Structure 1
Amino acid sequence: MSGARAEDQRLDPEAVRAFLLENPDLLKDDDALLGDLGLRVAGDNVVEFGPAALARVHAAHKREATVRRKLEATARENFAAQAQTHGAVIDLLESRNHADLARRVDDLAQLRFGLAAGVLALEGPENTPAGWRSLVEGQVDMILDGHQRLTRMGFAPTALGLFGERGETIQSMAMVRLAIWEPARQGLIAFGSADPQGFTPDMGAELVAFLARVVERTAERWPVL
């Protein structure tokens, strides 16, 4: 029975609104109720927002402004990264040979992206281009942690050797599989950061993968001598 009485006593918002419209003085003359609602009556029967209501509006506006600033900052960072990537593509396309391509990858890593190093590596018993790291067959799979994986973001101890004497400074990596020439030889493009949060597993690898495709097409201009 108590549940039934509670059900009967629930107020219909539309009924409350209609009642207040028909009896406006009930609200305007009740100072305690106005105070609880954060309102007050000014001259000429104008209901104004009181300090509590204004505080709630200000807090809501502050939250919206904070979210907007974060979105704007993210958009600026993404735009800057894309602009740097486009500039890097031009640099790579101007390479004169394999050694120059490897040098440019390292230069753009440090000068354009503020990273510790950029490396190109290639598997196989055949000759390895000058300036590229030489890998044994199957080493790309080991570094990427699986033969099906095309990318890996974060820290991978098995990849430290790619960076030579700079390996001790590397705290995170972004790596993408390469497939160059016919028949394809497996390789890697790897970027190393001294910041543990420079590359994390939850980051997207789209821009690095794009650079990898540019490296593949550029490297195929010349045979391995």
Structure 2
Amino acid sequence: MDGSQGEFEFGSTQLDPSAVRRFLADNPDFLKADPGLLAELGLTVLGDNVVELAPLARVHAAHQRETEQRQLLEEVARANFAAQAQTHGAVVDLLDARNHADLARRVDEIARNRFGLAAGVIALECEGLPPAGWHGLVDGQVDLLLDGPRRMARMGFAPTALGLFGGASGDIRSMAMVRLAIWEPSHRGLLAFGSGDDEDFTPDMGAELVAFLARVVERTAERWPRL
């Protein structure tokens, strides 16, 4: 290597990185004076004394995005795992119910204590009084609350459903409702959860876990006859 001329002589001897570093330090205009080499290295001269390390910057930005996406996926996975664990615990609680009134009480306790919600309710279309602790609905009200006879679930805020939650209705900002079909011939009903946070249940959310709890409520309620 001839530092005075700024040229490398390649022979059988391997280049020493420290020698290259010293050469570039002694010849600061070497890279700037060779646009072709700059282009091959992916470097851009921004000013008299500034060279942009574009590839390194792109790699760093991509790494940051990848890290952020991985962290987001990890947070979602942890949240899903926690929700599933609480749901499995809720199933055990529901299966231990002794009667209809106890089942309704457990639904509300699960909503408050396991999921941090404002209320949980079982509602049933019926003539006369519903089972103790349940909310009574008139014929066709389930379809109205779910916004259609074919809909199995509804997530989000539905002002017409606030009456389901009784004294807690003033705290409800979002809700999850899933259709129930209990006994033979089947009676239509709802399992409903209400939250004080408008982001807990939104229309774009899936209702799989709530629907799973609804199926457990159906099977548990059918242990006892409709009085």
Q: Same fold (TM over 0.5)?
A: yes
Unaligned runs of 5+ in 2: 1-30, 45-51
Correspondence for 2:43: 38
Correspondence for 2:25: none
Q: Please report how far the alpha carbon of residue 35 of structure 1 lies from its aligned counterpart in structure 2 after TM superposition.
A: 3.4
What letter corresponds to residue 142 of structure 2 in structure 1?
V
Q: Secondary structure at the match of 2:106?
A: helix
Unaligned runs of 5+ in 1: 1-27, 40-49
Q: Please report how far the alpha carbon of residue 75 of structure 1 lies from its aligned counterpart in structure 2 after TM superposition.
A: 1.0
Contact map agreement 1:116 1:194 (CA 8 A) in 2: yes
Correspondence for 1:78: 80
Q: Secondary structure at the match of 1:221?
A: coil
Select which of 212, 215, 218 maps to 1:216: 218
What letter corresponds to residue 107 of structure 1 in structure 2?
E
| Alpha-carbon separation, structure 1, partners of 2:137 and 2:32 | 85
| Mapped pair 1:190 → 2:195 | no
Correspondence for 2:205: 203
Contact map agreement 2:154 2:176 (CA 8 A) in 1: yes
Correspondence for 1:54: 56
| 1:106-125: CA deviation from partner (whole Å, max 9, x where unpaired) | 00101111111000011110
| Alpha-carbon separation, structure 2, partners of 1:153 and 1:165 | 21
| Alpha-carbon separation, structure 2, partners of 1:54 and 1:220 | 65
Q: Secondary structure at the match of 1:146?
A: coil
| Mapped pair 1:107 → 2:112 | no
What letter corresponds to residue 73 of structure 1 in structure 2?
E
| Alpha-carbon separation, structure 2, partners of 1:108 and 1:136 | 26
Select which of 132, 145, 148 maps to 1:143: 145
| 1:15-68: CA deviation from partner (whole Å, max 9, x where unpaired) | xxxxxxxxxxxxx996333335229xxxxxxxxxx7332222111111111111
| 1:165-198: CA deviation from partner (whole Å, max 9, x where unpaired) | 1111101110001110011111110000111111
| Alpha-carbon separation, structure 1, partners of 2:37 and 2:206 | 52
| Mapped pair 1:159 → 2:181 | no
TM-score by length of 1: 0.79
What letter corresponds to residue 171 of structure 2 in structure 1?
T
Q: Secondary structure at the match of 2:127?
A: coil
| Alpha-carbon separation, structure 2, partners of 1:165 and 1:144 | 21
Q: Secondary structure at the match of 1:201?
A: coil
Count of equivalent residues: 190
Correspondence for 1:132: 134
Judging changes above 3 Å, is the alpha-carbon distance between structure 1 residues 29 and 117 closer, same or farther for their aligned structure 2 residues? Answer: closer
| 1:77-125: CA deviation from partner (whole Å, max 9, x where unpaired) | 1111111101100000000110110000000101111111000011110
Correspondence for 1:13: none
What letter corresponds to residue 79 of structure 1 in structure 2?
F
Over the matched positions of the two proteins, sequence identity in percent amounts to 69
| Alpha-carbon separation, structure 1, partners of 2:74 and 2:43 | 33
Contact map agreement 1:153 1:200 (CA 8 A) in 2: yes
| Alpha-carbon separation, structure 2, partners of 1:180 and 1:216 | 6
| Alpha-carbon separation, structure 2, partners of 1:72 and 1:191 | 27
Q: Secondary structure at the match of 2:191?
A: strand
